[in-house]
Amino acid sequence: MSIETPVYADAIEGRCLCGDVTINVGRHRAEVGACHCTRCRRWTGVALNVFTAAPGEVRVDGPVAIYPGEIAERAFCPRCGTSLWLRNPGEEYEFMVGAFDGAQDYPLISEIYIDRAFVSCRFAGAHKRSRQAEYEAKNAFIAEDA
């Protein structure tokens, strides 16, 4: 997410709305990336805001449903529907920052698809921003925003 020196934290715990799923994350990037692409907006109802962690730093307890999307799998609680994470198999988790009470102070470091953002969801501050064409040109695995 960041091209500068990343900020790390040692542990954080999150959960879904109903509490059936708990997530314990060890060492992880304590910074947030936002996405305004159509897929993320449809999944979250607004911009996607995530922090990342390596698979070896993650413990999930409780039932999780997986939607195998075109670009990444998306996980959610099958009881309450809370969005939990997205990831490609074997790669890092991208956790929904809102499921983790301790993540409210994580700074926003990057924002993609800014030209697709709703006016009500534009983020202020000095962070890296990329438009759709810029992001897709650097990430060949994404054909286009659906």
Where are the domains positioned within the chain?
8-138
| Domain at 8-138: CATH architecture | Beta Complex (2.170)
Q: How many residues does the chain have?
A: 146
pLDDT in tens, 21-43: 999 999 999 999 999 998 888 88
Distance CA(132)–CA(15), nearest Å, equals 31
For 107, the token pair is: 């700074």
The pTM for the full model equals: 0.87
- Which string of b and e fits 23-56 if b means at least 16 CB within 10 Å? bebeebbbbbbbbbbebbbebbeebbbbbbbeee
The SS3 of residue 78 is coil
Residues of the chain below pLDDT 50? 1-3
pLDDT digits (tens, 9 = 90+) for 108-120: 999 999 999 999 9
